[in-house]
Every structure is written in structure tokens, then in C-alpha cells.
Structure 1
Amino acid sequence: MRQPLPADMFDELCPSSLTPIRFGDKWAALIIRCLEHGPRRFSELRVPLRRVTPKVLTQSLRSLERDGLVKRTVYAELAPHVEYELTPVGRSMLEPMAVACAWAEQHWNELLDARESYDNATRLDRAG
């Protein structure tokens, strides 16, 4: 039996949310992290990705599948179900993602300060 994904796997203050390096869509990197330790059902992915609507999660999974990063397997058993898992190409993203997350962690305060400064300046521009 595999371990369930922790609900707080992606805290809102997680460095991965500050990583400026993106591929796919906003949620692709988080989905790949969820699949790092093996296949998962959609309902399992929903636990740590609770901020993602089911529609957007489905779109993201389809996009990752189209790009060859995720494999979707349908099990037509007594209780049919679908599982998603990383392909070898998808697995190859784990190392660069770890480097990007480490970079974001190292520059956490600078990134937050830059965002806050930008947001404050944008608010002043719109108000003035």
C-alpha cells in the first residue's frame, strides 16, 4: 500500500510557488511532484492540489500527457479506475525542478520583496 499524499504538501508559502521557471501550465510542476513516488489516482492528487479545480487539474493532466511527461492508465476492473504516473521523460524533470526549488528557497526573501514592491507600485499607479 502506498503512502497517501499529505494535504499540506504545497503550503501557500511553499518555495515552489515562487519559482519563476515554468513549463506547461501553473500546476504542472506540482503535479509532477505528486507523481514523484509512483502512480496516483485523480482523487489522490486532489488532496495536496485542493486549490486547483477538478476541471483545471484534468486540463493540466491532459497537457502533461500530451507532452509525454505523464502516462494515463485505465484499469477496466470490477471497480474501474484511472491512474497517472510519470514517464521516463517526466522523471527527467525531477532533478531540474529540485534545483529550481532550491534556488527559490535561497532567494525566498528577495522574491517576496520584489513581488510586494511590484504589487504596491501597481496599486499606486491604478489609484493615481
Structure 2
Amino acid sequence: MTDTRDAAFEQDRIMRSLPMMSRLCTEHDPEVFRSLLARIGDKWTLLVIGVLGERPHRFTELADVIPSISRRMLTVTLRALERDGLVQREVFAEVPPRVVYDLTALGRSLQTVVLTLGEWVREHQDVIVAQRRTFDERTGATD
């Protein structure tokens, strides 16, 4: 019982020390805040940052290693990440030209968060699948 109370106390202490989302999303420029959350929360962005965190990759390597991403969606995602300063694109003057993508220092600072989120998903995916199944059976809903 003490372990449960200690864990609950620790969780409460952590939650009180974090900034409130309602304040974070209204400070400074709310539109930029929301657009960055949308960018970072995008499934392709999370995967690209996670993969580029391992090492720099060429476009075709990224396309091969990220399941189900279209070449068009990969291009759109990489351009958006480059625009936001999270990814850098290096073109080598070769024939044919070689292009390599890598995380910037800013992108690397996001990598830890992305990997933590990925680990959370891996740890909880079975429970969530079971919850979805229960919900769908109860409501008659489907994906």
C-alpha cells in the first residue's frame, strides 16, 4: 500500500511541477504553438525524427525504412521539418547528386521526446488495442 501511495504522491508532485497546457497554448503566439504541436504530433514527423536520430539518411533509405510512407509524403514532411529548422538537407556535388538528411541540434533536442513517446506507445499498445476492441464491441463501431 505504501508503494502505491508513494507512486501516487510522486506522480502528483511531477504533475504540479509541469506547466499547465492551458497556459502554454496561450502564451506568446498561440497559432505558432498549435502549428508546431500539429507538425511534431504528425505520425510521419515522429517517424522521420526517430529514424534520423539514428544517423543521417538518404531519401531512398528513409523511404525504405519508414513503413507505408509515400515518396510525396516523405518529401512534404522533410521540407516542413527543414523549414522549421529540425532537419538539414545536404546536397553533394556528384553525378548523380547525392542528398543526405540529418537532424539539426534543434531536431536532436526533440529526439528524446520522440523516443520517449515511441517507448510509451510500445509499452501500452496491447492495452490500447484491447480497449479499442472492447469499445468497438460495446458500440458496434469499426475503424
Instruction: Give TM-score, length-normalised by structure 2.
Output: 0.62
> Is the partner of 1:33 in helix, strand or coil?
helix
Task: Report the aligned-residue RMSD.
Answer: 2.4
Q: How does 1:108-119 map to 2 (within 5 A)?
A: 108-119=125-136
In the other structure, the counterpart of 1:81 is 98
Alpha-carbon distance, 1:32 to partner: 1.1
Figure out how many residues of one structure are paired with residues of the other and give that number: 105
- Note the C-alpha offset of 1:38: 2.2
What one-letter code is carried by the residue in structure 2 that aligns with 1:26? K
Provide Cα deviations, 1:25-75, integer angstroms capped at 9, x if missing partner: 221111112211322110111111241110111111111111111001111
- Percent identical residues: 39
Amino acid at match of 1:74: V
Deviating above 3 A after TM superposition, structure 1's stretches of 4 or more consecutive aligned residues are 117-122
List runs of 5+ in structure 2 lacking aligned partners: 1-38
Taking structure 1 as reference, are residues 106 and 58 closer, same or farther at Cα in structure 2, changes over 3 Å only? same
- Which structure has more relative contact order (CA 8 Å, sep 6+)? It is 1
Q: 1:95 to 1:110 in 2, by over 3 A?
A: same
8 Å CA contact 2:59–2:101 kept in 1: the answer is yes
Matched residues in 2 for 1:87 and 1:65: separation?
9
Deviation at 1:117, TM superposition (A): 3.5
**SS of corresponding position for 2:79:** helix
The 3-state SS of whatever aligns with 1:78 is coil
Alignment of 1:1-128 (within 5 A): 23-120=40-137, 124=140
Which segments of 5 or more consecutive residues in structure 1 lack a partner in the other structure?
1-21
Over 3 Å counting, the alpha-carbon distance change for 1:118 and 1:23 in structure 2 is farther
2:40 aligned partner, one-letter code: F
**Structure 1 pair 102–49 and aligned structure 2 pair: CA distance change class (3 A):** closer
Partner Cα separation in structure 1 for residue 55 and residue 46 of structure 2: 15
